[in-house]
């Protein structure tokens, strides 16, 4: 989007440039969208609410320009040193000339004592560090931030794009009936998605080619706004898109199982029909980077060496109440709480281990796996069930994790519930 605006029609948007989340987001008509996001669906109508100079993207550009224009503290210190050092060097050169009676000695002093190497080396070192970090996917705001990293004591890992690959990949294929061949269902869907510009289409196509499937070019392709894609692949009519379009408003048991699995794994689902019969579903997720476990293990010696290391796991109130989107979800969070206790014992006394157990968090996973209407209903129910009559915000969860990490040296082996009093009404 070139400018900030208000949607006049539903849209599927890629907001990864602003939020870091690789999976597309469904936005309703009348919702506000920010510049810098990319349309991942059919054409949309937008009413601009700000000029380009006042847009979100322009603000990001200004921040980058300010960072580039600012000097790092070390560079500024080198400049101040040079201001004082130059007159001293001139006096020293003059003294050498006067004592030796040879101007060559003065020149030798100027060559040796010139501050130019320092003035050049400092910014070059900073820029080289920033460039090296950018080449491996680490964006640092400026030289000052790079210097302050040396004194950093807290590292916060954003899962998306840091511990994960930052783009959706095909994680599983579920067929509606045992008689259906999963590879054939995937082949038909991937063939159809070859002509789609949707951000999830490339994941399905890549999943098909990675399995060595031979794809066909589809014909009679039709994009149904807000629902999905339909076309002919070989002798079959294929439809690909939302569950409501593929299986209707009364989904069978296998669809409910797919949705529960998607909720547990944090996956997105795409459903497929072949010859007007539901054929299966695809599970798409942001996969863990292959080198993420090695990176996490590499941090352990540093944690122990510091003598004051802290690890905060993100659990869920479901692990304490035995409630959640599914039994499996609640059980997995309960297991995470038990893992936290074991780690707290094993890593003490050098490292503290705790867990934060949020309740419903605004803008969390439900906002990406539910329709806007369904999400609004869930948020309303959660608000009414909590004694504080509110839901948590992402910044609140982050602030609690930071407090435990930096301001609670006596806390370890604890699960801290942050559910707005939801557990008080759980009985």
Does the N-terminal peptide bond of residue 349 adopt cis geometry, omega within 30 degrees of 0?
yes
Question: Do 261 and 230 have their domain in common?
Answer: yes
pLDDT tens digits along 63-78: 666 655 556 666 666 6
Residues in the chain, overall count? 427
Q: Of 119, 151, 183, which closes a domain?
A: 151
pLDDT tens digits along 98-154: 887 778 777 777 666 666 666 666 677 777 887 787 777 677 777 777 777 777 666
Residue at 108 is within a domain:
yes
Question: Do 273 and 200 have their domain in common?
Answer: yes
Residue at 26 is within a domain:
no
C-beta separation of 229 from 193 below 8 A: yes
Question: Do 165 and 256 have their domain in common?
Answer: yes
Residue at 85 is within a domain:
yes
User: Which of 40, 44, 33 minimizes the C-alpha distance to 3?
Assistant: 33
**Triad 172, 177, 180: Cα angle to 5°:** 75
Phi, psi of 309 (to 5 degrees): -70, 155
Task: Supply the pLDDT for residue 64.
Answer: 63
**Could you tell me the CA-to-CA distances from 183 to 45, 180, 191, 214, 235 in Å, in that order?**
38, 9, 12, 10, 17
Question: Do 254 and 282 have their domain in common?
Answer: yes
Question: Do 330 and 309 have their domain in common?
Answer: yes
Residue at 39 is within a domain:
no
Question: Do 362 and 415 have their domain in common?
Answer: yes
Instruction: Tell me which residue range forms the domain holding 344.
Output: 291-425
Question: Do 283 and 321 have their domain in common?
Answer: no
**Triad 363, 369, 372: Cα angle to 5°:** 65
Task: Supply the pLDDT for residue 74.
Answer: 62
Q: Of 151, 180, 204, which closes a domain?
A: 151
Q: Which two tokens stand for residue 293?
A: 């476990």
pLDDT tens digits along 151-210: 766 666 666 666 777 778 888 899 988 778 999 999 999 999 988 877 788 889 999 999
pLDDT tens digits along 400-414: 998 998 899 999 999
Residue at 199 is within a domain:
yes
pLDDT above 70 coverage of the chain, percent: 82
Question: Do 132 and 216 have their domain in common?
Answer: no
Residue at 361 is within a domain:
yes
- Give the CATH number for residue 277: 3.40.1110.10
DSSP string of 245-269, one letter each residue:
HHT-SS--HHHHHHHHHHHHHT-EE
Residue at 32 is within a domain:
no
Question: Do 274 and 164 have their domain in common?
Answer: yes
Q: Which pTM value belongs to this model?
A: 0.53
Residue at 65 is within a domain:
no
Question: Do 174 and 207 have their domain in common?
Answer: yes
Question: Do 322 and 396 have their domain in common?
Answer: yes
CA distance 348 to 84: 50
C-beta separation of 7 from 27 below 8 A: yes
Q: Of 238, 254, 287, which closes a domain?
A: 287
C-beta separation of 320 from 423 below 8 A: yes
What total of structural domains would you count in the chain? Answer: 3
Active site residue 193: no
Question: Do 360 and 268 have their domain in common?
Answer: no
**What one-character DSSP code corresponds to residue 392?**
B
Given the residues 45, 102, 158, 291, select the one marked as catalytic: 158
- Give the CATH number for residue 324: 3.40.50.720
Residue 371 has pLDDT above 80, yes or no: no
Residue 417 pLDDT grade (very low, low, confident, very high; cuts 50, 70, 90): very high
Task: Supply the pLDDT for residue 425.
Answer: 82
Q: Which two tokens stand for residue 171?
A: 């994680």
């Amino acid at each position: 989007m070139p400018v900030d605006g208000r949607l006049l029609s539903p849209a599927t948007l890629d907001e990864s440039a602003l939020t870091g989340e690789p999976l597309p987001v469904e936005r309703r008509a009348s919702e506000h969208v920010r510049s810098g996001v990319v349309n991942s669906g059919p054409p949309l109508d937008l009413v601009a609410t700000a000029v380009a100079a006042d847009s979100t993207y322009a603000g990001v550009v200004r921040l980058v320009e300010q960072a580039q224009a600012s000097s790092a503290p070390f560079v500024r210190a080198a400049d101040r040193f040079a201001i004082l050092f130059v007159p001293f060097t001139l006096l020293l050169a003059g003294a050498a000339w006067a004592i030796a009676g040879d101007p060559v000695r003065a020149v030798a002093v100027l060559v040796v004592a010139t501050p130019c190497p320092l003035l050049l080396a400092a910014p070059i070192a900073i820029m080289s560090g920033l460039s090296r970090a950018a080449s491996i996917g680490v964006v640092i705001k400026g030289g000052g931030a790079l210097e302050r990293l040396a004194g950093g004591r807290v590292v916060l890992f954003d899962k998306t794009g840091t511990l994960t690959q930052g783009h959706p990949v095909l994680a599983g294929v579920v067929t509606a009936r045992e008689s259906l061949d999963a590879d054939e269902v995937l082949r038909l869907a991937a063939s159809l998605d070859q002509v789609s510009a949707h951000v999830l289409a490339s994941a399905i196509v890549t999943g098909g080619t990675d399995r060595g499937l031979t794809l066909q070019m589809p014909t009679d392709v039709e994009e149904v706004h807000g629902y999905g894609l339909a076309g002919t692949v070989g002798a079959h009519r294929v439809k690909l898109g939302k569950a409501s379009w593929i299986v209707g408003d009364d989904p069978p048991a296998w669809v409910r199982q797919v949705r529960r699995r998607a909720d547990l794994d944090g996956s997105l689902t795409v459903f497929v029909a072949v010859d007007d019969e539901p054929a299966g579903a695809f599970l798409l997720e942001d996969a863990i980077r292959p080198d993420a476990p090695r990176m996490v293990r590499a941090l352990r010696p540093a944690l122990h060496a510091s003598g004051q290391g802290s690890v905060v796991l993100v659990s869920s109130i479901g692990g304490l109440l035995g409630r959640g989107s599914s039994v499996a979800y609640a059980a997995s969070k309960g297991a995470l709480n038990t893992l936290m206790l074991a780690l707290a014992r094993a890593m003490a006394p050098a490292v503290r281990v705790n867990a934060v157990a949020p309740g419903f968090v605004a803008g969390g996973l439900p906002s990406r796996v539910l329709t806007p209407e369904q999400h609004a209903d869930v948020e309303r129910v959660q608000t009414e069930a909590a004694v504080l009559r509110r839901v948590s915000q992402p910044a609140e969860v982050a602030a609690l994790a930071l407090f435990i990490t930096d301001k609670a040296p006596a806390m370890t082996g604890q699960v801290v519930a942050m559910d707005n009093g939801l557990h008080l009404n759980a009985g």
